[in-house]
Amino acid sequence: MIPFFETIVGWRDFLKDKYGIRLEPRPLFILGLVLLFMSYVFMPSVVSLALSLALFLAPVWLPFLLIGGAVKVWLIWRRGEFIASQKYILLEIRPPRNLVKTPLAMEAFLSTLHLGPGEGTWYVRWIKGAVRPWWSLEIASLEGQVHFYIWTKAGFRRMIETQLYAQYPGIQVVEALDYTRLISATTEDYGIWGCDFKHTAKKQDALPIKTYVEYGLDKAQKEPEQVDPLANLIEFMGSVGKGEYLWLQMVFRMHKGEKYDKLNAAGKAYTWVDEAKELVDKIRKETREPYKDPVSGKEIPGFPNPTKGQIEKIAAIERNVSKQGFDVGMRCIYLAREGYFNPVVISQMNALFNPFNSAGWNGIGASDWMRHFDDYPWEIGAEKLKNTYRRLLVEAFRRRQFFFEPFGFGISPKDTMVMSTEELATVFHIPSRAVETPGLGRIQSATGEAPPNLPV
């Protein structure tokens, strides 16, 4: 770890948020070379001594640098070959008109995808480059027509189809063309804006968002009384017009703690369960107001006296981590042909997951990619950099990449979210017939197989 690294990062974020000044790597590198040259001009002996000392100590520090870089390049290469050797397909989920299932059905389906094969030994991880499978849940609006998809390895197709049919009898699951490659999506032909999404409560993944349980969708309700928070998102996506496209993906895999990159007290990988214990302990300590002993004058912790909100928060955290967890990366892109780009859509994208946010709990907010820019007049070369980001954004979406190079987490592994099956089922589930968005295509009637005892 670089000394004072967190302090430097804090200064960088302060300058960006307060004054719109960004410390990009390339200008800083050029500035460093200029300062080195100026130092050599005015203090040649000091600079020469420093360089000579660094060269003299090269046998000490250079091997660590070279070996570390070589190991990283090796792992990227082997993983890249492994990922490229797999076959992937895109399945479209077509709901019937009479669907009455709640998000609990999607949660039951997602629990079957909590799988981590392929990473059992160091040999397959470091030599073969194998990685555990990941999936992508997607909602795409193609000129106002809303579609639901799941992207997967071809080998998991049968399992996904059978589990979906088990929870949603009557739906259709068909292999579809990759809609992201049906248009050029180039910066010359399209206006492009996009972002990733992160938890609003930093370093508190165990703290849940507002799920379907809080909306009462875990219980049977009359359709007019149902309040499905996903209806807002679907209605918005169905509102885009001709020449406009809106893509939303949720890339996820089984959670094993890579995000935290540390060990717990037992010497095992630190996961969101350990984070939950720390959060609960912190809340419990806050409930014990200290008082002074009248005899000794010492400050002694008082008896627990939690508020209703604190009790509910502890219960929500414990319920959340009691369910299976996933590493989740969310990404959304808005594309529009020339003359059709609507800037108002950007504001709605930023507030896409507001129905799932709750004060004092967790939420999901937009971040990174095109939000990197504030369009200050002193952002020299910003338009060229924007086009670069737009191309990379579309490529990352098409590859369904969030965990590995060249699009690993956007910036760092800490940018992903850890979500339970309940949370993920809340933000992605097949809506019941209570959601009547015109652009949401449904099949006219439920489908099913013929009885096995039918005479031929």
User: What length is written for the chain?
Assistant: 456
Which pLDDT value is given to residue 350? 92
Rounded to the nearest angstrom, the gap between the alpha carbon of residue 424 and the centroid of all alpha carbons in its chain is: 11
Q: How many CB atoms lie within 10 A of CB 374?
A: 13
Which pLDDT value is given to residue 409? 40
Q: How many CB atoms lie within 10 A of CB 173?
A: 17
Q: What is the DSSP letter of 294?
A: T
Choose the weakest-confidence range: 43-52, 112-121, 248-257, 285-294: 285-294
Q: What gap in Å lies between CA 83 and CA 153, rounded to an integer?
A: 10
Name the nearest CA neighbour of 194 among 321, 319, 335, 93. Answer: 335
Phi, psi of 116 (to 5 degrees): -140, 40
Secondary structure of residue 29 in the 3-state scheme: helix
* pLDDT band with cut points at 50, 70 and 90 for residue 223: low
- Name the average pLDDT for the chain: 85
Cross-strand partners of 141: 146, 246
Please compute the mean of the pLDDT values over residues 187-199 and round it to a whole number.
92
* CA 63 vs CA 21, 57, 66, 69: distances in Å: 36, 11, 5, 10
Which pLDDT value is given to residue 280? 92
* pLDDT band with cut points at 50, 70 and 90 for residue 164: very high
Please tell me which residue, 110 or 30, carries the higher pLDDT value: 110
Secondary structure of residue 326 in the 3-state scheme: strand
Cross-strand partners of 190: 337
Tell me the per-residue pLDDT of 149-158, one tens digit each, with 9 for 90 and over: 999 999 999 9
* pLDDT band with cut points at 50, 70 and 90 for residue 26: low
Which pLDDT value is given to residue 372? 78
Phi, psi of 294 (to 5 degrees): -65, -20
Q: What is the pTM of this model?
A: 0.85
Which pLDDT value is given to residue 8? 63
Secondary structure of residue 176 in the 3-state scheme: strand
Domains annotated for the chain, with CATH where assigned, are 5-56 (no CATH), 87-262+313-427 (3.40.462), 274-311 (no CATH)
Tell me the per-residue pLDDT of 66-104, one tens digit each, with 9 for 90 and over: 888 898 889 889 998 999 999 999 999 999 888 888 899
For the packed helices 25-42 and 44-56, what is the interaxial angle rounded to 10 degrees? 120
Which pLDDT value is given to residue 425? 95
Q: What gap in Å lies between CA 136 and CA 152, rounded to an integer?
A: 7
Please compute the mean of the pLDDT values over residues 35-39 and round it to a whole number.
85
Question: CB of 124 within 8 A of CB of 443?
Answer: no
* pLDDT band with cut points at 50, 70 and 90 for residue 1: very low
Choose the weakest-confidence range: 5-14, 110-119, 267-276: 5-14
Cis peptide preceding 25, ω within 30 of 0: no
Q: What gap in Å lies between CA 246 and CA 266, rounded to an integer?
A: 45
pLDDT over 60 at 410, yes or no: no
Q: What gap in Å lies between CA 272 and CA 278, rounded to an integer?
A: 10
**Torsion angle of the four alpha carbons 272, 275, 281, 284, in this order, in degrees rounded to the nearest 10:** -70
Cross-strand partners of 364: 199
Name the nearest CA neighbour of 363 among 260, 221, 229, 178. Answer: 229
Which pLDDT value is given to residue 446? 55
Cα dihedral sign, 364-368-371-377: positive
Q: What gap in Å lies between CA 402 and CA 437, rounded to an integer?
A: 30
Tell me the per-residue pLDDT of 320-362, one tens digit each, with 9 for 90 and over: 999 999 999 999 999 999 989 999 999 999 999 999 998 888 9
Please compute the mean of the pLDDT values over residues 108-125 and round it to a whole number.
90
